[in-house]
Amino acid sequence: MAQEFDLVVIGSGPGGYVAAIRASQLGQKVAIVERENLGGICLNWGCIPTKALLKSGEKFESLSHLKDYGLSASGASFDFDAIIQRSRGVAKQLNQGVGFLMKKNKIEVIEGSAKLEKGAAAPKVVVVLKAGGSRTIEAKTVMLAVGARARALPQIGLEADGDKIWAYRDALAPKKLPKTFVVIGSGAIGIEFASFSRALGAEVTVVEAVDRVMPVEDEEVSKAAQKGFEKRGIKFKLGAKVTKVSKDSKGVKVDLEVSGKTESLEAEVCISAVGITANTDGIGLEALGVELDRGHIKTDSHCQTNVKGLYAIGDCAGAPWLAHKASHEGIHAAEHIAGYKTPNVHSPIAGCTYAQPQVASVGVTEQGAKAEGREVKIGRFPFKVNGKAIAAGETEGFVKVIFDAKTGALIGAHMIGADVTEMIQGYVTAITMEATEEDIHGIVYPHPTMSEAMHEAALDAYGRVIHI
């Protein structure tokens, strides 16, 4: 059978569709296989629609603070169904946008579920088509961008049913807003759903197995985040092991073990946010001998697997499980496949949480640097003395930067506060360009902006801070 394509991409999420576009730009004949919706989970059931929900929650919650701005209004209410429909509409619009990009770049979209079989230059792709029947495709190269799904723990009863136990997908399109939630897991997904639900008035308790919220973040940020969330009325159970989740007609009961003692929480709904599982089962990897690491596909620095002609990118290829990491890998892999000389720049990957307050970080944490035995200089600057933050009434939070004491290189940055998810890219660029404290000290930041806190934090690390 003759090769139909140069590249077949399996999965059209933020890694897959971007890789397909870049490959097409480089003259490759490309097909993309998608079993559900163009844009994948991120666009349809993850990153994008959650931000739409969070914005609705933020707007509504801000109405209770109008007095702070010399304003007043009465009779504020919300239409929960309209909030959900707005979020779904945003996802639909972007889904159509991806469809347009596929046509523009002459990428053939094949709707169906793919499985790999042994082939010549690369594995064969056998697609069970949505429209019925099947199609076998041969290509020079195959790229897996199959993503991941919410992790279930059926042994303790933590398995989404769309009714009383929700995973992220259920939480994005509920028919009504429950009055009480237990959220299991305080990573970005758990915290964002907790933040949205609380903004609309629900009682929310977040359960976390370790002794602090958002455990991947810098400890200082983690503590500040907890205070900020508690100020809004979100409750926390930390160092709590979930032993059982049970359902009855009223809702759910979550049994916990905390400091050797047993206790339980009750709520109408439990949201499970305990991590993800790669979609690597049932697609023929075992028969091909594809190497896995704890369920994720092992790859080299160019996203190649151990099987000839097979690449893997994004969530299915391991942490960090972030859309922008998947897109970055997709572009790199597409360029490597096409023989294009990819720039040898390895950008650090920022993490963002879009709750209230927002959290954003890149590079090493203070505790991580100390664990590595690195000598560091640390600077901090609070938004409470930043002019723009005071004027905007957004004084919560701070910026924290970490420099290598020997070289002056910026190696970590951590922020909490309003719109910090938009600011973090400044530090991502700085680290990528190997900026030192001297470089950052010499940058002129516009005034008045929240970003001035980024400059002052860098000055603070070297005893040069101006406004505190």
The span from the CA of 169 to the CA of 150, in Å, is 9
Instruction: Give residue for tokens 């391991």.
Output: 318
Nearest CA among 402, 392, 399, 441 for reference residue 423? 399
Nearest CA among 417, 412, 416 for reference residue 458? 412
- Return phi, psi of residue 190, to 5°: -60, -45
| Distances in whole angstroms, Cα of residue 13 to Cα of each of 34, 39, 44, 89, 219 | 9, 4, 9, 18, 32
Q: Is the peptide bond before 448 cis (omega within 30 degrees of 0)?
A: yes
Side chain identity at residue 162, one-letter code:
G
Asked if 71 and 146 count as a contact pair (C-beta separation under 8 A), the reply is: no
The span from the CA of 162 to the CA of 154, in Å, is 15
- Would residue 447 show up in a list of annotated catalytic residues for this protein? yes
Residue 141, C-beta contacts closer than 8 angstroms, at least 6 positions apart? 6, 7, 8, 121, 122, 309, 310, 311, 337
Query: Cβ of 447: how many Cβ atoms within 10 Å?
Result: 10
Q: Choosing from 65, 447, 455, 467, which is the catalytic residue?
A: 447
The span from the CA of 342 to the CA of 21, in Å, is 16
Element (H, E) at 139: strand 139-144
Label residue 134 exposed, middle or buried (CB < 10 Å: 0-12, 13-18, 19+): exposed
The span from the CA of 331 to the CA of 141, in Å, is 15
The span from the CA of 112 to the CA of 121, in Å, is 23
CA angle 357, 444, 457 (to 5 degrees): 45
Q: Which residues are catalytic?
A: 447
